[in-house]
Amino acid sequence: MKNVCFEISERYCFEFDAIGRDGDNVHLFVGAEPKYSPSKIMQIIKSITARQIFKQYPEIKKQLWGGELWSDGGYIGTIGDGKTSDVIKNYVENQGNKEEEEAYQQMKILDF
């Protein structure tokens, strides 16, 4: 997934400042040009990562609920109101605990 995000950043000029996971959740801290709305950024990332991961690991689709990599929803936050990028980056990078990390170690697609 890390490699796919790198390819997305090259194509769309997104800046992935941090990528983290918490159980079965993925947290991304992404910077982008103002021509992209936050929801469009999420749509681009979700669609390209799903397509590329299913292409590389087709067996995963059978194991997922409904064959979908991502849920329909998501959370988008923007930096402001006294929050600094360092605080958000630290939050994203330090998600999950030791038990969750070990439980999801088999998820080869999450290389971060």
Q: Is residue 96 part of a domain?
A: yes
Q: How many domains does the chain fold into?
A: 1
pLDDT tens track for 87-107 = 777 777 777 656 655 554 544
pLDDT band at 112 (very low <50, low <70, confident <90, very high): very low
Q: Is residue 111 part of a domain?
A: no
pLDDT of 109: 45
SS3 string, the chain, reads CHHHHHHHHHHHCCEEEEEEEECCEEEEEEECCCCCCHHHHHHHHHHHHHHHHHHHCCHHHHHCHHHCCCCCCCCCCCCCCCCCHHHHHHHHHCCCCHHHHHHCCCCCCCCC
pTM attached to this predicted model:
0.72
pLDDT tens track for 55-71 = 998 888 888 878 888 88
Q: Is residue 108 part of a domain?
A: no
Residue 13 domain boundaries: 2-103
Q: Is residue 60 part of a domain?
A: yes
Which CATH number goes with the domain that contains 78?
3.30.70.1290
In this predicted structure, which of 9-18, 21-30, 92-101 has the lowest mean pLDDT?
A: 92-101
When pLDDT is averaged across residues 62-81 and rounded to a whole number, the result is 80
Greater model confidence, 48 or 2: 48
pLDDT of 29: 87
Q: Is residue 31 part of a domain?
A: yes
- 81, pLDDT greater than 60: no
pLDDT of 110: 47
